[in-house]
Amino acid sequence: MNALFAAHATLLFAAAAALIGILSSLAASRFGVPILLVFLAVGMLAGDSGPGGVVFNDYGLTYLVGSAAIAIILFDGGLRTRAATIRSVLAPAGVLASAGVLMTAAITGGVARLALGIDWVPALLIGAIMASTDAAVVFFLLRTGGLQLKRRVGATLEVESGTNDPFAVLLTVILVEIALGGPGADAAHIVVAILREASLGVIIGVAGGLGLVFVLNRLSLPAGLHPAFVVTAALVVFSLTQILGASGFLAAYVAGLVVGNRPVRAYASIASFHDTATWLCQIALFTLLGLLVSPKLILPVLGPALAIALVLIVVARPLAVFLCLTPFRFSRREMAFVSWVGLRGGVSIFLATIPTLAGLPGSEIYFNVAFVVVVVSLIVQGWTIGYAGRRLGVALRDPAPEVQRIDIDLPGQLDAELVGYPLLEQSPASRHRAMPPWVKPVLVVRDGRILEPGEAGPLLPRDYGYFLAPTSRLARLDRFFAVDGAAPETEAMAEFPFDGSLSVGAVADLYGLDVGSDERAMSIAELFAQRLDDAPQENDRVDLGAASLIAHNVVDEKVRLAGLILEAGPEDEEAAAKAEPWWSRLFARIG
């Protein structure tokens, strides 16, 4: 009976800790605290040094849970990434994920040797543990923060954070072997091993993703089992790849990328389920990591760990980013933001458990240093990621708005979906704009009555409209029915028309707009094609310095006519900037 009581008590504790973390996130969001810190704090309070008094030191379980959680989150990141957005950034992201990791590890390791007074091997091991950005944290904070980045910057961050783990993991394993007295490896062996792990991870990820798409579209699973099947399959791809000696994290990300860019049955329910799954994974991972922490062991290394965190944030990561991205003609503002989003999270603490599992003497130092660096990164960088994006001009001023959409899966249909929307005030649909030509109205629900489109006529406020639309263009239809915050037409700002063949540089010079050198030579039509994930459509909008361009006439998927809308004038921005504290103007001075 005692065993049953202990099992029930453990279950109660786990459920209560998750519940407290979820409820605490409401207060954290209100005060701007990074939510992941809340889960970490819940674990610490429940641990042996907190009021909970739970003794937990199972690094094996932490490694297992951490592996599964990070794999699911990476799969979800790939699931939501459009292939079109990453084709132009494979080279810069690849250099940053490889050479950038090595640079960061070397610089951080050098600082760790000086700060902690340890030999080169353990110092470089600390550098390797802290070298990679945490894709899970990057995806999570960007999504929950509602921050939408310009296409090139966002794609670079996504690809880099999703592919740099193999390099950090391999460096960590090799350095642990050397620290245990193994023969180690020369530079050529390391390069070959990295290439083998990465290439095999990509191959298995592609094969797993295609197999998953095939099964989803060929088998009629019972309702509700599609999302569970996808999550389970993602874990199979990850674990199988790890067993074969390749990067399971990379394979999980690539598999998600394949599934997210192919026609898949029940995609809407799969994506919705993954929203919940990623939340639960983050709660489980950070709560468990918090349980492992012992403040009395952290205090002796707190000073050196803070020094390592400071150098990592302001020296190692920025230097690696600027050296890796400058040849690819990124602007200084873009590189500054990529540097700032070098967040460390669960992956670093997860890697810090490897020395303990390997039986490396004095392994607690790696976990404690990693914990301090992660907390500092979440507080300093996680707290300011949204502000930095807006001040450095890499966040869209017109992000895709939230929308209330009902998805209805159509049996046997992979390229089209039946979706429903309420007609909201200040949405393009409420202003009776023309419906996109690829949308087919099906029915309208008005005052409790079901009407055919011809019978209903134009949509009215409080109507619910149901439409048949291509799956690949649902995001574009979302914008048509979402509140876009546009000013009333009587108060609308002046709009200046320009031919789509006109160069972006000419428009920028005419109005004194700050435009990147790589886009100045483009035509307006080419700018729309480069910025958007899909072919341009009527009412699509892109930023142009301190202004916005809106597509008004699209022929053969090319913008023939666009309108330029100017934003607030320089004197308005200057007045707003003077009202800000000095520290908040830091990002505005970069570039």
Spell out the per-residue pLDDT of the chain, length 591, in tens. 566 776 777 677 667 766 765 665 555 555 445 667 777 877 887 777 777 777 777 888 888 888 888 889 889 888 877 776 677 788 898 899 889 999 999 999 999 999 999 999 999 999 999 998 877 677 666 665 556 677 778 888 888 887 787 778 878 888 888 888 765 556 677 677 777 888 899 999 999 999 999 988 887 777 678 888 999 999 999 999 999 988 888 899 899 999 988 888 777 778 878 878 887 887 888 888 888 888 788 888 999 999 999 999 999 999 999 999 999 888 888 899 999 988 888 788 878 888 988 888 888 899 899 989 998 998 888 888 878 887 887 776 555 555 677 777 666 666 778 888 888 777 777 765 567 778 888 999 998 889 988 888 888 888 888 998 887 677 778 777 876 544 334 334 557 888 889 998 888 888 888 777 778 888 998 888 877 756 677 767 777 777 888 888 888 778 889 888 875 444 444 443 444 443 344 444 554
Taking the C-alpha atoms of residue 366 and residue 362, their distance in angstroms, rounded to an integer, is 8
Q: Burial level of 410, CB count in 10 A (0-12/13-18/19+)?
A: middle
Fold of 58-391: Na+/H+ antiporter like fold (1.20.1530)
Place of tokens 């400058």: 326
Domain covering 494-566 assigned CATH 3.30.465.10 in the classification: yes
SS3 content of the chain, % helix, strand, coil (to 5): 65, 10, 25
Q: Which two tokens mark 194? A: 């990295």
Residues 6+ apart with CB under 8 A from 113: 119, 120, 123
- Closest by alpha carbon to 455, among 465, 501, 345? 465
| Whole-number pLDDT of residue 115 | 93
Q: pTM of the predicted model, to two decimals?
A: 0.72
| Whole-number pLDDT of residue 5 | 72
At residue 283, what is the residue type? I
Taking the C-alpha atoms of residue 331 and residue 275, their distance in angstroms, rounded to an integer, is 33
Parse the chain into domains and list their residue ranges.
Answer: 58-391, 406-481, 494-566
| Whole-number pLDDT of residue 139 | 67
| Whole-number pLDDT of residue 574 | 46
Q: How far is CA 78 from CA 74, 253, 400, in A?
A: 6, 5, 19
Provide the CA 449 distance to its chain's centre, in angstroms: 42
Domain covering 406-481 assigned CATH 3.40.50.1000 in the classification: no
Taking the C-alpha atoms of residue 109 and residue 350, their distance in angstroms, rounded to an integer, is 18
Q: Which two tokens mark 9? A: 């008590």
Q: CA 373, 355, 110, 339 torsion: positive or negative? A: negative
CB 13 within 8 A of CB 5: no
Triad 372, 375, 377: Cα angle to 5°: 105
Q: Burial level of 259, CB count in 10 A (0-12/13-18/19+)?
A: buried
Taking the C-alpha atoms of residue 160 and residue 135, their distance in angstroms, rounded to an integer, is 8
Query: Residues of 119-154 as b/e, b for ≥16 C-beta within 10 angstroms?
Result: eeebbbbbbbbbbbbbbbbbbbbbebbebbbbbbbb
| 90-116 helix and 151-163 helix, angle to the nearest 10 degrees | 60
Taking the C-alpha atoms of residue 464 and residue 443, their distance in angstroms, rounded to an integer, is 9
Taking the C-alpha atoms of residue 281 and residue 215, their distance in angstroms, rounded to an integer, is 25
Provide the CA 198 distance to its chain's centre, in angstroms: 21
Backbone dihedral angles phi then psi of residue 468, each to the nearest 5 degrees: -100, 125
Backbone dihedral angles phi then psi of residue 467, each to the nearest 5 degrees: -140, 150
Taking the C-alpha atoms of residue 427 and residue 433, their distance in angstroms, rounded to an integer, is 10
| Whole-number pLDDT of residue 403 | 62
Q: Is 585 helix (H, G, I), strand (E, B) or coil?
A: helix
Q: Is 502 helix (H, G, I), strand (E, B) or coil?
A: coil
Taking the C-alpha atoms of residue 255 and residue 204, their distance in angstroms, rounded to an integer, is 8
| Whole-number pLDDT of residue 568 | 47
**Within a 13 Å sphere around the CA of 15, how many CA atoms are in the beta-carbon half?**
6
Radius of gyration in angstroms for the set of CA atoms belonging to the chain, rounded to a whole number: 25
- The DSSP bridge pattern shows strands 541-544 and 449-451 to be unpaired
| Whole-number pLDDT of residue 415 | 72
